[in-house]
Amino acid sequence: MWILGIDTSCDDTGVGLVRDGVVVVNRVASQTLLHQRYGGVVPELASREHTQVIDGLVQQALGEAGLKAADLDLIAATRGPGLIGALLVGYTYGKGLAFALGKPFVPVHHLEGHIYAALAEHPEVEPPFLALIASGGHTHLFEVPAWGTYRLLGATLDDAAGEAFDKAARLLGLGYPGGPEIERLAEQGEPGRVPLAVPLQGQEGFAFSFSGLKTAVARALEKGHAPADIAARFQQVAVEHIVQVVTRAARHTGLSTVLVTGGVAQNTALKTQLQAAGLRLMFPPRGLATDNGAMIALAAWRTHARSPHNPMALPAAAYLPLGSA
């Protein structure tokens, strides 16, 4: 079974082809350069760029797999959450293609896409497990007791984890995306030189908070600390915060299998610290941690059997919660 997956939820146009649960093609057209000079994603520009590239990208992906559109068995696209104008491009394109080809269409929740990306190389994993999604737009910790059931344990109270890396990087005069830049600079720094506290220490729940760290980075710069030392301390504290929340959730639920997904899942310090906590961890393979279309096709492969009866009638949605608290 060939599935085409499309994601245009933010500033990357993602197109993926999955055959029987295996990723064959994963193409992402990044808009980073387009938005860079504005210091953030400009929604209208993102939509226009998606419109420009989506069809060519799908044709390229099909060509790479040696397929014609008619060979597709199913078409899936991100329904939400995300920037509505951006979402509409991929979602409407997917619906239109499915309608024209007379093939089934599957709307996919973006966060479910991230979760199934972490399972791409672990088909043996079964619920119950915990799923941490840490990206530029989201920081959510879910308990997944059964396939398709999501209990939100905690989310960020302010900035997303990746957003915090991006904002700290900007303050430090580094490029975008900030995560890899901070990671690189942190290697040359000495974290012990900068006083910066782990957020929400001593909390009973599973919330995350990163906006205080951003302010603390600005203050440390004012005090004249070296950027490399600040980067090292920022990363150490951000990672420790995430690890504390995840390990407490693991103890609380009695679950030791944890999927870690989203752009921040690529952070080596985070991986190392979580591994040291003795958890059974699943990470997405290379290229599937950040936003992409293959993860949407993977989610559709796993969920199409329980997909809604009239998907064409479901509108795209900027705000779309996954599961219940």
Q: Which two tokens stand for residue 91?
A: 């979602």
d(CA 290, CA 135): 7
CB atoms inside a 10 Å sphere around CB 49: 22
In the bound state with Zn ion, the residue whose beta carbon lies nearer, of 135 and 247, is 135
Interface residue with ligand KG4 among 291, 298, 301, 304 (CB under 6 A) is 291
Q: 280 and 258 in contact (C-beta within 8 Å)?
A: yes
For residue 102, say whether it is annotated as part of any ligand binding site.
Answer: no
Q: How far apart are the first and last CA of the chain?
A: 35
Q: Counting contacts by CB under 5 A, is residue 12 touching Zn ion?
A: no
d(CA 298, CA 4): 9
Q: Rounded to the nearest whole angstrom, what is the least distance from the CB of residue 239 to ligand KG4 in the complex?
A: 9
Interactions with ligand KG4, residue window 4-43 (CB under 6 A):
10
Q: 136 and 41 in contact (C-beta within 8 Å)?
A: no
For residue 291, say whether it is annotated as part of any ligand binding site.
Answer: yes
Question: What are the strands of the beta sheet with 22-30, ordered from one edge?
Answer: 22-30, 12-19, 2-7, 74-80, 105-109
Q: 206 and 248 in contact (C-beta within 8 Å)?
A: yes
Interactions with Zn ion, residue window 286-315 (CB under 5 A):
291
Q: What are phi and psi of 77, to 5 degrees?
A: -145, 155
Q: Which two tokens stand for residue 170?
A: 């900007």
In the bound state with ligand KG4, the residue whose beta carbon lies nearer, of 97 and 291, is 291
Beta bridge partners of 18: 3, 23
Interactions with ligand KG4, residue window 152-191 (CB under 6 A):
162-163, 165-166, 177-180, 183
Q: Rounded to the nearest whole angstrom, what is the least distance from the CB of residue 176 to ligand KG4 in the complex?
A: 8
Q: Rounded to the nearest whole angstrom, what is the least distance from the CB of residue 54 to ligand KG4 in the complex?
A: 18
8 binding partner (options Zn ion, ligand KG4, none; Cβ < 5 to 8 Å by kind): none
Interface residue with Zn ion among 13, 26, 51, 135 (CB under 5 A) is 135
State the binding string over 115-154 for ligand KG4 (x if CB under 6 A, else -).
--------------------xxx-----------------
d(CA 129, CA 142): 9
Q: Which stretch binds ligand KG4 (CB under 6 A): 47-55, 64-72, 98-106, 262-270?
A: 262-270
The number of angstroms, rounded, from the C-alpha of 9 to the middle of its chain's C-alpha atoms is 11
267 binding partner (options ligand KG4, Zn ion, none; Cβ < 5 to 8 Å by kind): ligand KG4
d(CA 325, CA 322): 9
CB atoms inside a 10 Å sphere around CB 171: 17
For residue 21, say whether it is annotated as part of any ligand binding site.
Answer: no
Binding region for Zn ion (CB under 5 A): 135, 291
Binding region for ligand KG4 (CB under 6 A): 10, 135-137, 162-163, 165-166, 177-180, 183, 262-264, 266-267, 290-291
